[in-house]
Amino acid sequence: MNRPAAACLAACIATGTMLTAAAAATVRFRVVDFAGKPIKDAIVYAVPDTPLPPAKPRTAIIDQVNRQFVPQINVVQVGTYVDFPNSDNILHSVYSFSPAKTFVLRLYAGKTEPPVRFNKPGIVVMGCQIHDTMIAWLLVVKTPYFGKTNAAGLLVLHHLRAGRYRMHAWDVSMRKVTASRPLVVTAGGPPRQITFTLKAGRMPRHGPTMPGMSAGMGMQ
């Protein structure tokens, strides 16, 4: 009972904010480590408590340039197609054994392979069969509100509808998304700033372990 009331309140606040601005709110995020150092490329996303209407599928691109995935760290909404073009003049074979999405693209060059649809939330780690150093992370989230921090660890999310959210922050060094906090967005009012302090921030020396594969054989 309480929950609807709180949600309502939060929505009000958010709506109020949005109402005062453009019927939507902007939230500023700052992600730092325990030392207060800003974390770059941390992914922050906000999941509204109220389920959103299904979105139209979109397509994202993870290019392969100079034996690197570009960008390395990605975030998409569930149901998004990701295209893996090969911009190198050598062959790559992209694969993922992550539980969120397991796939193997045969060796190819250029843009011959079809895009891969990620319809399960979770962390997907992709590599190249040929080049072990090529690693790309793709966080699949159930919200359209997400983004990556810049070099200053800052991210600004616009157009957040007023309402209640659960805010999450994740860095590639983290085996799973653990940092979360509630957020009530009200329309109008000054932009809010939320700071996340993450434990992560450093890559393990010999590479990160596979997210979501900590137990059992790694298979869920």
Partner 1 sequence: MTVRTRSLRFRLIAFLVTLIGLVQIAEFALMTRASYGAAKAKIEQQFGVGDKVFARTLAENAAQQVQSARVLASGFAFRAAVAIGNPATVESALENYGTRIGARAVLYVNLHGDVVADTLRASPHVYPFALPALIHAAGQRGQASSIALLDGRAMQLIAVPVRAPLTIGWVVVCFPLDKALAEQLRSLTGLEVSFAVARGSRWTVVATTLPPKDARVLPARLQATHAGAKNALIRMPDGSELTRLLPLNDSGAARIAAVLTQPIGPALASFRALRATILGLGVFSLLVSILGSILIALGFTRPLAALLEAVKRIRQGDYSRLVAIKRDDEIGTLARGLDLMRARIFEREQRILKLAYEDPLTHLPNRLQFSESLEKALSAARKTRCGLAILIMDLDRFKYVNDTLGHGVGDHVLQEVAQRLRDVLGGAACIARLGGDEFAVLLEEATNGSVAQLAERVVSALERPILYAQQPLDVGASIGIATFPEHGADLQTLVRNADIAMYVAKRTRSGYSFYDPNYDTSQQEHLSLLSELRRAVEQGELRLYYQPKLTLASARVLAAEALIRWIHPVRGLMPPALFIPFAEHTGYIKSLTLWVLREAIAQCGQWRREGRDIQISVNISARDLTSRDLPERICALLAEHEVPARLLCLEITESGFMEDPKHAQRVLDRLAQQGIQLSIDDYGTGYSSLSYIMRLPVKELKIDQAFVSHMSEEPNLATIVHSTIELGHSLGLKVVAEGVEDSGGLALLRELGCDSAQGYYLSPPLPPAEFTAWLEGTLPVRLEGDLCRAEDEHAADLSIARGAALASGAY
Least Å from the CB of residue 14 to partner 1: 37
Q: Does 128 bind partner 1 (CB under 8 A)?
A: yes
Q: Which of 52, 70, 135, 154 binds partner 1 (CB under 8 A)?
A: 135
Q: State the Cα angle at 183 between 16 and 174, rounded to 5°.
A: 150
Q: Which CB, 39 or 134, lies closer to partner 1?
A: 134
Comparing CB distances to partner 1, the nearer of 91 and 210 is 210
Binding string to partner 1 for residues 78 to 107, with x set by CB under 8 A, is what?
-----------------x-x----x-x---
User: What's the closest the beta carbon of residue 99 comes to partner 1, in angstroms?
Assistant: 10
The single residue among 36, 53, 54, 216 that binds partner 1, judged by CB under 8 A, is: 216
Output the DSSP codes for 183-201: EEE-SSSSPEEEEEEES--
What residues contact 177, with CB distance under 8 A and at least 6 apart?
Answer: 123, 139, 168, 169, 170
* Cβ proximity of 182 and 164 under 8 Å: yes
Task: Give the span between the Cα atoms of 55 and 53, in whole angstroms.
Answer: 6
> What is the distance between the alpha carbons of residues 169 and 192, in angstroms, rounded to a whole number?
16
Strand 59-61 and strand 80-83: pairing? Answer: parallel
Residues 176-205 contacting partner 1, CB under 8 A:
204-205
Select from 82, 81, 62, 83 the least CA-distant residue to 71: 62
Q: Count the residues of the shown chain that bind partner 1, applying the rule CB under 8 A.
A: 27
Quote the CA–CA distance of 118 and 125 in Å, as a whole number.
12
Q: Which stretch binds partner 1 (CB under 8 A): 10-18, 43-51, 120-128, 182-190?
A: 120-128
Which C-beta is closer to partner 1: that of 48 or that of 211? 211
Q: Shortest gap between Cβ of 95 and partner 1 (angstroms)?
A: 8
Where along the sequence are the contacts to partner 1 (CB under 8 A)?
95, 97, 102, 104, 125-129, 132, 134-135, 204-211, 213-219
